[in-house]
Amino acid sequence: MADDAGAARGPRGPGGPGMGNRGGLHGDFSSGIWGRGHRARRGKAEDKEWMPVTKLGRLSLEEMYLFSWPIKECEIIDFFLGASLKDEILITPVQKETHASQRTRFKVFVAIGDYNGHVVIRVKCSKEVATAIRGAIILAKLSIVPMRRGYWGNKIGEPHTVPCKPPLVPGITGMCHHARLILYF
């Protein structure tokens, strides 16, 4: 009986080879002789070709805007406008007074656009700067809109400016308390 129990546990303890006599879950969630847990491999991450998750990813950007379908994947914008997208980031700390002390969070303003008529402004607030930046960029990519361009001053060449004062459309005009931000070109 004792020999059967020892054979079931393995020659080097309850966890099998390389696990020693740690007990616990007997190495169910580890990788045996290579150490504990599944760690990410070091080196370059392979760039995989993006495959759309939704049916919307199979359409062109103009078709999405034509039928006013909401963009659900930020990779769609990366696929169509990735190389030409430029972004500006503004980070401001925001403090809230609590009973014990002050709680600091970071508010990130992101303006993203290509120089071909697509632009958006978005805001994200988070406890960490990196999380706020990542979230603001994803929100901005999901809500990027095409701008109608026209002429102002002269009609030489291609349409190059906003033809009128933009309406209250998300991404063109932003308002927070008593401050209003209007994007002019």
Amino acid, res. 131: T
Host domain of residue 15? 1-37
Residue 124 vs residues 105, 106, 132, 171: alpha-carbon distances, Å: 10, 8, 6, 14
Evaluate whether residue 55 is within a structural domain. no
User: Are the C-beta atoms of residues 13 and 22 closer than 8 Å to each other?
Assistant: yes
Which two tokens mark 66? 């034509």
Quick one: which of 76, 154, 149, 84 has its CA closest to 112? 84
Which two tokens mark 72? 């659900």
32 and 101 inside one domain: no
Evaluate whether residue 96 is within a structural domain. yes
Evaluate whether residue 44 is within a structural domain. no
99 and 146 inside one domain: yes
SS3 state of residue 176: strand
- The angle at the Cα of 78, spanning 76 to 80, to the nearest 5 degrees, equals 70
25 and 94 inside one domain: no
CATH number of the domain at 91, please: 3.30.160.20
76 and 118 inside one domain: yes
User: Are the C-beta atoms of residues 136 and 122 closer than 8 Å to each other?
Assistant: yes
Q: What is the mean pLDDT of each run of 10 residues along the chain (185 residues)?
A: 52 53 50 51 61 83 88 88 90 92 94 87 93 94 86 78 59 67 63
Evaluate whether residue 46 is within a structural domain. no
7 and 97 inside one domain: no
Q: Distance between CA atoms of 32 and 12, rounded to whole angstroms?
A: 12
Residue 23 has phi, psi (to 5 degrees) of 75, -140
User: Are the C-beta atoms of residues 165 and 172 closer than 8 Å to each other?
Assistant: no
